[in-house]
Amino acid sequence: MRVLAPAIVSGAVVIAIVAIAGVLVAAPVARWLDADAREPLWSTVVVAAVVATTTLGGASAWHGLVLTRLVRVRLFDRLIAALGAGMLLLGAGIVAAVGIEPALARAALLLASPLWAAGLGFAVLVGAMLLHARAPLHEPPGAVLILGAGLRGREVGPLLRRRVERGAEVWRAALPGRPDARIVVAGGQGPGEVRTEASAMAEHLTERLGVPSGAIDLEQASTSTRENLELSRPFLTGERAPLAVVTSGYHAYRTAWLLAALGIDGAVVGAWTRPSYRPGAIVREALAIAADARRWCLAAALVIEALAVWALVVEP
């Protein structure tokens, strides 16, 4: 329930916003699209399109603008930028189509419904992340697990450095109540890396942050968040509860879901992330969640598209 409640609240808020806004703009949307003002479908779809384009489309487009500032630009980053540009162009095309042939604009709006639904899902995720981030740690952890991220040469990169520093803060804050608290650093050697992420994290903790090496355990085989958690289990059992997992702020909510799915009891603490990096990072999180639930997402998209086609066919 700790991870489900933020999603339920955020989903209810997004649905309420779309429903209320749809009622308020029903008349002007009907005139704009040359549609029946008594039919709530069009205003609802338009509001959903606006929300989706400004959230998912805007975040993805922003990521494209900051690509040159990233330490490493991957194909995934370029695809996110393309998604943003595509959504903005689609929105502009629909607006332009209204002046040419409103029926064409209505068709485009309906046929793009799976994309608008994805954008609403993204808005729900952002809200859930914000709500989850407000949850405090209720008691001092016996173990602080810091999740790995990319290295810069032999050193921790900026993103990972902030995770390590936040983890050290959580560990030190726990010591008065849990003098036996330990830090677990998790991360194997990724493609192009010269050492394991865990070894670089442990070195940063001892040499830069003054954490005794005897208080640190290393998990050096994992290559994903799920593996970080699964392979760290041996270090988290027994008297080391409760567990606090430290990762980047944008990554905390999905990590909490993975903890629950793996049956590991623990809280997740988010480290600060550069604001310009957050929008694209949250899009990546959304796409990762969609990939994990790809069958459900594909089924939902097919159902929504079938309903959109049916609505076009029966439109008077």
| One-character DSSP codes across 83-146 | HHHHHHHHHHHHHHHHHH-HHHHHHHHHHTHHHHHHHHHHHHHHHHHHHHHTPPP-S--SEEEE
Q: How many CB atoms lie within 10 A of CB 215?
A: 15
Kindly list the domain boundaries of the chain, sorted by start residue: 4-133+280-314, 143-241
DSSP state of 275: G
Tokens 């076009």 sit at which residue? 312
Residue appearing with tokens 């046929």: 111
Residue 80 half-sphere exposure, CB side, CA atoms within 13 Å?
29
CA 25 to chain CA centroid, Å, is 30
Chain-centre distance of CA 279, in angstroms?
9
- What are the residues facing 183 on neighbouring strands? 144, 216
Distance of CA 237 to the CA centre of its chain: 28
In CATH terms, the fold of domain 143-241 is Rossmann fold (3.40.50)
pLDDT tens for the 316 residues of the chain, in order: 678 999 999 999 999 999 999 999 999 999 999 988 677 889 999 999 999 999 999 999 999 999 887 767 888 899 999 999 999 999 999 999 999 999 999 999 999 999 999 999 999 999 999 999 988 878 899 999 999 998 989 999 999 999 999 999 999 999 999 999 999 999 999 888 899 999 999 999 999 999 999 999 999 999 999 999 999 999 987 778 889 999 999 999 999 999 999 999 899 999 999 999 999 999 999 999 999 899 999 999 999 999 999 988 886 5
Look up the pTM and report it: 0.91
CA angle 121, 314, 102 (to 5 degrees): 75
